[in-house]
């Protein structure tokens, strides 16, 4: 039960739901009826399915369908937004006239005939989910449960879920642009509860897990990934049993390759979204072309990585995605722009305009945020620290984009003592200030890894899927939570 990749020309998918070229032109005209500078129509049809296992049974399934169109009208930096869940011409025009209310000018822009644009394909799918019955999903979930119990006898409970989704979107603009994109997603999660001896010798119970996600079909779950999904879920849970809390305070922090890029996402990513800079409320607002990090540090936000959860063939405003260099050898080079901020700055958008659904106006958002590899061997980085911590996995993060203070929650890691990884540690929040933390990245490893986890980014009440990646790095000092032993 998934939406197939449409095989007709762009525009035909929604045309089959009654949205003809003629209707599109009428709606665009209604949106510009009060003289807005520009507008966009965003059509969306989503279908998702999930199955989950608890307590030894695959006993819950869910499906979700969402269909509608959002219309945005722009007048300078001002935005009018409305949406309709009914795709009848009348309902679409009513929404368009509502959004048009933001504008008030006698000059009405001419609407060009929509012409479909070809897109690249950053998410080739070999085994689409619409060919896969619920029974096959049930078998996969069962298999992972069995493997998790077999992997470690301390595992007491296993919960598994497998979700797939596909959406078809269409963006139509008054300049004649019409783009249609089909966006698949696959996500799998295994969660374990384990019982065993804690660091103090008493029995303890812990629960944790692992999840993977990508813009792909069933082929995403190849044998290697399935094995890693289960093994990581079990290992990360059992790891917690005898892990301790580090001592609190400021210390050097080494971040392992991969998911540690949550640091980039929070410490700099959000602050580089151009809406905050257009409004002059980001801590990076006045720092363009200035040196903000060690020259080993290059950070990009890339919408074009094949199969990545954060990738897009086209953004939600109908602009090409790209690989945007945010920081080049320590120098701030570009913000991430949507249409609104790009026109404010008089430059081309970077294809970063994204939205949660047709119910939301687009904003500049991250796609896959990645730090390029540097010169150091990861082992050399660990050995360089006398007393500090090494962070392996993370739960979540947050940032204040103006004050610049950001934090991320370390789920698992190790103490570093005299250049060696020693005791396992868990469950501490780490906090710092974005520009300060960037300036304190003083060693960058040569082991870049793009994380395969199912990260979701929230901003202004909107969630979008993102990816991130990083090599091993050393931050000379951050404030680490923890308890005095």
Partner 1 sequence: MNNLNETASKIVETAMRLGASEVTAWASQGTWTDVKQRDGRIEKWQDSQSCSASAAFFVNDRYSVHSTNDLRSDALEQFIGRAIEATRHLEPDSDRRLADPDVMGTHQDSSLDQVDNSPPEIDHRTWVDAVQTATSAAIPKNLRSVEGFVWSGSSEQVMVTSNGFSGGTATTEFGHGADISMEDSDGRLPEAADWAVSRHHSDLLNVERISQRAANRAKRRLGSGPVSSRRGAMLVENRVASRILGTLVSPMHGGSIYEQRSCLSDKLGKQIASSAFSLIDDPHIPRGLGSRPHDGDGRPTSKRDLVTDGVLQTWLLNVYYARRLELEPTTSSTSNLLVPASQHSPMELIADLPWAIQVDGFLGGNSNPATGKYSFGIRGTLYEKGEAVAPISEMNITGSIFDLLAGYIGAANDPWNSGSCRSPSLLFDDVQFSGQ
Interface with partner 1 in residues 274-313 (CB under 8 A) = 279-283, 285-286
Q: List the interface residues with partner 1, window 53-82 (CB under 8 A).
A: 54-55, 57-68, 77-82
- From 247-255, 331-339, 343-351, 369-377, give the range in contact with partner 1 by CB under 8 A: 247-255
Q: Determine contact, residues 483/389, Cβ cutoff 8 Å.
A: no
Residues 399-438 that bind partner 1 (CB under 8 A): 399-409, 426-433
Asked whether the beta carbons of 271 and 264 are under 8 A apart, the reply is: no
Is the CB of 292 or the CB of 336 nearer to partner 1?
292
Kindly report the length of the chain.
485
Q: How far is CA 249 from CA 242, 245, 252, 388, 429, in A?
A: 22, 12, 10, 10, 11
Q: How far is the CB of 245 from partner 1 (least distance, A)?
A: 7
- The distance from CA 76 to its chain's CA centroid, rounded to whole angstroms, is 29
Our CB check for partner 1 shows the closer of 122 and 187 to be 187
Contacts with partner 1 in 466-485 (CB under 8 A)?
A: 479-484
Minimum CB separation from partner 1 for residue 204, in Å? 7
Give the per-residue contact string, 101-140, with partner 1 (x = CB under 8 A; - = no).
xx------------------------------xxx--x--
Q: Would you count residue 9 as binding partner 1 (CB under 8 A)?
A: no
Instruction: Identify the H or E element spanning 406.
Output: strand 405-417
Phi and psi at residue 402, to the nearest 5°: -90, -50
Taking the least distance from each CB to partner 1, the nearer of 229 and 283 is: 283
β pairing state of 363-364 and 455-459: unpaired
What does the alpha-carbon distance between residue 394 and residue 210 come to, in Å, rounded to a whole number? 11
Candidate ranges 204-212, 223-231, 309-317, 325-333; the one touching partner 1 (CB under 8 A): 204-212
Structure tokens at 340: 């609104």
462 forms part of the interface with partner 1 (CB under 8 A): no
207 sits near partner 1 (criterion: CB under 8 A)? yes
Q: Is the C-alpha dihedral spanning 288, 39, 72, 68 positive or negative? A: negative
Residues touching partner 1, count (CB under 8 A) = 85
Cβ-based nearer residue to partner 1, 3 or 256: 3
Supply the DSSP string of 74-121, one letter for each residue. Answer: EETTEEEEEEES--SHHHHHHHHHHHHTT---S-PPPPPPPEE-----
Q: Which is nearer to partner 1, 100 or 179 (CB)?
A: 100
Please list, in sequence order, all residues whose beta carbon lies within 8 angstroms of the beta carbon of residue 91, skipping any fewer than 6 positions away: 84
User: Distance between CA atoms of 230 and 225, rounded to whole angstroms?
Assistant: 9
Window contacting partner 1 (CB under 8 A); options: 4-12, 22-30, 245-253, 442-450: 245-253
CB neighbour list of residue 20: distance below 8 Å, 6 or more residues apart: none
Instruction: Identify which of residues 433 and 467 has a Cβ nearer to partner 1 in the complex.
Output: 433
Site for partner 1 in 21-60 (CB under 8 A): 49, 51, 54-55, 57-60
């Amino acid at each position: 039960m998934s939406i197939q990749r449409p095989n007709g020309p762009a525009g035909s998918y929604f045309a089959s739901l009654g949205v003809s070229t003629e209707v599109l032109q009428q709606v665009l005209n209604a949106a510009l009826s009060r003289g807005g500078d520009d507008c966009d129509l965003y059509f969306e049809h989503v279908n998702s399915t999930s199955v989950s296992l608890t307590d030894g049974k695959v006993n819950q399934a869910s499906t979700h369908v969402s269909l509608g169109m959002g219309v945005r009208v722009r007048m300078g930096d001002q935005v009018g937004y409305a949406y309709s869940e009914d795709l009848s011409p009348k309902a679409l025009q009513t929404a368009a006239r509502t959004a048009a209310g933001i504008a008030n000018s006698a000059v009405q822009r001419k609407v060009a005939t929509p012409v479909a644009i070809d897109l690249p394909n950053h998410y080739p799918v070999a085994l689409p989910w619409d060919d896969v019955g619920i029974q096959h999903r049930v078998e996969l979930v069962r298999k992972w449960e069995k493997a998790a119990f077999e992997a470690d006898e301390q595992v007491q409970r296993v919960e598994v879920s497998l979700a797939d989704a596909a959406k078809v979107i269409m963006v139509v603009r008054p300049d004649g642009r019409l783009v249609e994109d089909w966006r698949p997603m696959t996500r799998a999660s295994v969660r374990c509860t384990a019982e065993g001896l804690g660091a103090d010798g008493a029995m303890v119970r812990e629960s944790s897990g692992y999840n993977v996600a990508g813009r792909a079909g069933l082929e995403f779950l190849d044998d290697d990934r399935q094995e890693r999904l289960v093994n990581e879920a079990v290992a990360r849970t059992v790891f917690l049993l005898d892990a301790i809390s580090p001592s609190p305070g400021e210390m050097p922090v080494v971040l392992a390759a991969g998911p540690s890029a949550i640091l980039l996402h929070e410490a700099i990513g959000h602050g580089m979204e151009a809406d905050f800079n257009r409004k002059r409320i980001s801590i990076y607002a006045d720092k363009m072309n200035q040196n903000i990090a060690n020259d080993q540090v290059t950070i990009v936000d890339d919408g074009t990585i094949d199969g990545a959860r954060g990738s897009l063939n086209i953004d939600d405003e109908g602009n090409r995605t790209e690989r945007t260099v945010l920081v080049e050898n320590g120098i701030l080079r570009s913000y991430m722009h949507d249409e609104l901020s790009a026109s404010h700055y008089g430059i081309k958008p970077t294809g970063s305009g994204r939205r949660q659904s047709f119910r939301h106006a687009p904003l500049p958002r991250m796609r896959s945020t990645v730090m390029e590899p540097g010169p150091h061997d990861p082992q050399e980085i660990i050995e360089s620290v006398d007393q500090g911590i090494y962070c392996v996995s993370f739960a979540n993060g947050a940032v204040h984009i103006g004050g610049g203070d950001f934090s991320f929650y370390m789920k698992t890691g190790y103490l570093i003592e005299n250049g060696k990884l020693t005791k396992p540690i868990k469950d501490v929040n780490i906090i710092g200030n974005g520009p300060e933390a960037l300036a304190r990245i003083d060693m960058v490893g040569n082991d870049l890894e793009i994380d395969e986890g199912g990260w979701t980014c929230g901003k202004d009440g909107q969630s979008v899927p993102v990816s991130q990646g990083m090599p091993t790095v050393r931050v000379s000092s951050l404030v680490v939570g923890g308890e005095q032993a």
